[in-house]
Structure 1
Amino acid sequence: MKLSRYTDYALRVLIYLAGRDQGLASIRQIAQAYAISHNHLMKIVQDLGHAGFVETVRGRGGGLRLARPASAIVIGDVVRHTEDLGDLVDCSTCRIAVACGLPPVLAEASLAFLAVLDRYRLSDVVARPEVFRGLFQDLPDAAGLA
């Protein structure tokens, strides 16, 4: 299974926020840190906010942060939210669909994939936040990261 770029970026946002000591981050900082589109990240952050993964603070000095501790964010939940996890293949027009045993095999594989992701939390992925902070420290807009 291949995750979409949307999911990749959503996970990157969460990892960036989890790697911070405290304080707020801007979408601009995150976009710059990963060299990805600011506009695309705006949509993703808004979606993560509506889903309860990210909290946004408006106004001067505003920004975003995790809406709950990294230890409370399950990677499988993020992937379920950002991916369309329907059938891996569309068998609706296939001639052999009524006799084929492949769809249940693929469904089992998909469940196994998610079961592995469900065993991990954001805090597991960012087990050493100080390393992440160091990786982003040299960026021109990295003021306030630590």
Structure 2
Amino acid sequence: MRLTRSSDLALRVLMALAVAQEPSTARETAAALRVPYSHLAKVVARLRHLGLVETRRGRGGGLAITGAGREVSIGGLMRELEGVGDVVDCEGDTPCPLHGGCRLRGALRRAQEAFYASLDPLTVESLTESPTGPVLLGLVGRGGRAG
């Protein structure tokens, strides 16, 4: 199983904001995480919609993680961001001839759920404990500003 780039970035954004001591701008966060601003902006919009990040405009504004963002289950978040569809597309442009009697599809679906279930007990807060937190703090710089 492989996460999409957007889901990976969403986790990194939440983790960076969790250790930041004050809000940072989306441009600063994008620079610190070495990702395109346009891609980060889309991810932040989704996280904001989910109530995990808040954005404030103007002087002293920026991105900040919410309480829900700190405590969100990583497994639940990945289900939300990745969706719980099939791992393989058995009914696409060229439907699989085994579709009617295939056991692989069900096995892959169970494996996908086991992957998410293994992430369920983790939270953003738990992911930012040492040694990860200090490394993240070095990326986002002092006071949440990219360094």
Q: Residue by residue, what CA displacement relative to the aligned partner does 1:1-54 show, whole Å, maximum 9, x if unpaired?
A: 01011111111100100122x321111111111111011111111110001110
Taking every aligned residue pair, what percent have the same amino acid on both sides?
39
Distance in 1 (CA, whole Å) between partners of 2:45 and 2:51 is 10
Q: Residue by residue, what CA displacement relative to the aligned partner does 1:33-79 show, whole Å, maximum 9, x if unpaired?
A: 11110111111111100011101112221111112155512111221
Aligned counterparts, 1:92-107, within 5 A:
92=91, 93-107=95-109
> Secondary structure in 1 aligned to 2:54?
strand
Distance in 1 (CA, whole Å) between partners of 2:68 and 2:99 is 45
> Secondary structure in 2 aligned to 1:56?
strand
2:127 aligns with 125
Gaps of 5+ in 1: 138-142
Whether 1:8 aligns to 2:12 is no
Q: Residue by residue, what CA displacement relative to the aligned partner does 1:88-116 show, whole Å, maximum 9, x if unpaired?
A: 11222211211111111111101100101
Q: How many residues align?
A: 140
Q: TM-score, normalised by structure 1?
A: 0.86
Q: TM-score, normalised by structure 2?
A: 0.86
1:26 aligns with 25
1:135 offset after TM fit, Å? 4.0
Where is the helix percentage greater, Structure 1 or Structure 2?
2
Distance in 1 (CA, whole Å) between partners of 2:75 and 2:46 is 16
Letter in 2 for 1:52: G
Gaps of 5+ in 2: none
> Secondary structure in 2 aligned to 1:98?
helix
Distance in 2 (CA, whole Å) between partners of 1:69 and 1:19 is 15
1:145 offset after TM fit, Å? 2.5
Distance in 2 (CA, whole Å) between partners of 1:135 and 1:144 is 11
CA gap 1:130/1:69 in 2 versus in 1, 3 angstroms: farther
Letter in 2 for 1:19: V
Letter in 2 for 1:104: G
1:111 aligns with 113
Name whichever of 104-113 and 63-72 sits farther off.
63-72
Which ranges of 4 or more aligned residues in structure 1 deviate by more than 2 Å?
Answer: 128-132, 134-137, 143-146
CA gap 1:71/1:17 in 2 versus in 1, 3 angstroms: closer
Letter in 2 for 1:98: G
Letter in 2 for 1:124: S
1:134 aligns with 138
1:85 offset after TM fit, Å? 2.7
